[in-house]
């Protein structure tokens, strides 16, 4: 097991390096000049040249990548072109807010998806199955930013029950686990949970229905094993595949919340990326994308190791 885990970790290193290269190149091939975010339009050429030298933009792309990667390995992601603050400080605060939102959304989506999928798979062909499949299809099909706006109109504007924007009564740094702050999480978390709920529902339904149709389940029933015992065997066999899907969905929740966070003005990585894109703030773009991509790689590695612990057949293969 330890040798397999070490091998998977070593496999993740070149993936992380490739991800860092892609993150660096993506923001440089986009149109526009990052210096325009700092210097006014009528700035003298000498001032523009000095800004390029200060931020290392006068060097070639390979040199810029080498310097940026070396500093990133030391925990230095540079300074924001717009605010002048360290990128790491801005990204750290935004990642914390996004992770909290993603975990709440995952808790809602994974719980509902698992319950709906398990019931639908066990009652395949019934009206419950058809209802669960319909809800899953609707969850995957509905654009979450549109759903977010509908929820704001319904619960914030018409009913006045929940706040529409922000992360709390004060700043996001003053977060506390009380209703005054948690109510700001309800609408964005529900909005984000819809898509993973639909995907997990379909995954669990397919896994449960397939396992219940296998010969060993018939044998267990023939031996008189009770339903709870059979359910435990179904869970053990379905868990590795379902966990893989859940891990991917959690990664997507971290990286794909830009529209939802913009709708609700949630101070996470999505809102930070949206602001950096419009300001052409290359260091913030690079740092945010890199952290999210590395989080996705680490999450996939953790899910891979967890799958192996649950199903030794993967390690032997």
Nearest to 68 by CA among 28, 95, 32, 38: 28
Q: Residue 170: which CATH number? A: 1.10.3720.10
- CB-based burial, 250-284: b 16+ in 10 Å, e otherwise: bbbbbbbbbbbbbbbebbbbbbbbebbeebbbbbb
DSSP run (H or E) holding 183: helix 179-212
Q: How many domains does the chain have?
A: 1
pLDDT of residue 313: 62
Question: Concatenated DSSP letters for 112-133?
Answer: HHHHHHHHHHHTTTSHHHHHHH
Task: Write down the pTM of the prediction.
Answer: 0.80
pLDDT of residue 220: 75
pLDDT tens digits along 7-66: 777 777 788 788 788 777 776 676 666 666 666 666 777 777 777 777 677 777 788 788
Per residue in 74-107, pLDDT (tens digit) is 878 878 877 778 888 888 888 888 888 889 999 9
pLDDT at 315 over 60: no
pLDDT in tens, 253-292: 877 677 888 888 888 888 888 888 777 777 888 888 888 8
Q: How many residues does the chain have?
A: 317
Q: What is the mean pLDDT of the segment spanning 196-207? A: 90
In a domain, 264, yes or no: yes
DSSP string, 192-242: HHHHHHHHHHHHHHHHHHHHHTSHHHHHHHHTT--HHHHHHHHHHHHHHHH
pLDDT recorded at residue 107: 92
Asked whether residue 27 is domain-assigned, the answer is no
Name the band, by pLDDT with cuts 50, 70 and 90, for residue 108: very high
Is 241 a domain residue?
A: yes
Domain limits for position 213 = 88-316
* pLDDT for 37: 61
């Amino acid at each position: 097991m330890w040798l397999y885990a070490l091998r998977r970790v070593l496999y993740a290193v070149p993936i992380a390096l490739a991800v860092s290269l892609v993150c660096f190149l993506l923001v440089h091939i986009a149109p526009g000049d990052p210096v325009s975010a700092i210097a006014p339009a009528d700035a003298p050429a000498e001032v523009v040249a000095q800004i390029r030298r200060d931020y290392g933009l006068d060097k070639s792309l390979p040199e810029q990548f080498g310097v940026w990667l070396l500093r990133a390995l030391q925990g230095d992601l540079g300074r924001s072109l717009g605010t002048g603050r360290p990128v790491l400080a801005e990204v750290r605060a935004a990642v914390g807010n996004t992770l909290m939102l993603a975990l709440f959304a995952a808790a809602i989506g994974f719980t509902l998806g698992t319950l709906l999928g398990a019931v639908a798979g066990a009652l395949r062909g019934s009206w419950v199955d058809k209802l669960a499949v319909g809800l899953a299809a609707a969850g995957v099909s509905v654009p979450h930013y549109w759903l977010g706006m509908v929820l704001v109109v319904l619960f914030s504007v018409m009913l006045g029950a929940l706040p529409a924007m922000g992360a709390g009564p004060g700043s996001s740094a003053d977060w506390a686990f009380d209703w005054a702050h948690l109510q700001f999480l309800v609408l964005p978390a529900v909005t984000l949970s819809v898509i993973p709920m639909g995907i997990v529902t379909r995954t669990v339904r397919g896994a449960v229905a397939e396992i219940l149709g296998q010969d060993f389940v018939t044998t267990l029933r023939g031996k008189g094993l009770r339903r709870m015992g059979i359910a435990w065997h179904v869970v053990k066999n379905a868990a590795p595949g379902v966990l893989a899907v859940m891990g991917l969905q959690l990664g997507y929740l971290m990286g794909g919340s830009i529209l939802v966070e913009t709708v609700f003005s949630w101070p996470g990585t999505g809102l930070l990326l949206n602001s950096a894109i419009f300001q052409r703030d290359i260091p913030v773009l690079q740092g945010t994308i890199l952290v999210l991509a590395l989080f996705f790689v680490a999450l996939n590695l953790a899910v891979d190791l967890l799958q192996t612990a649950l199903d030794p057949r993967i390690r032997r293969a």
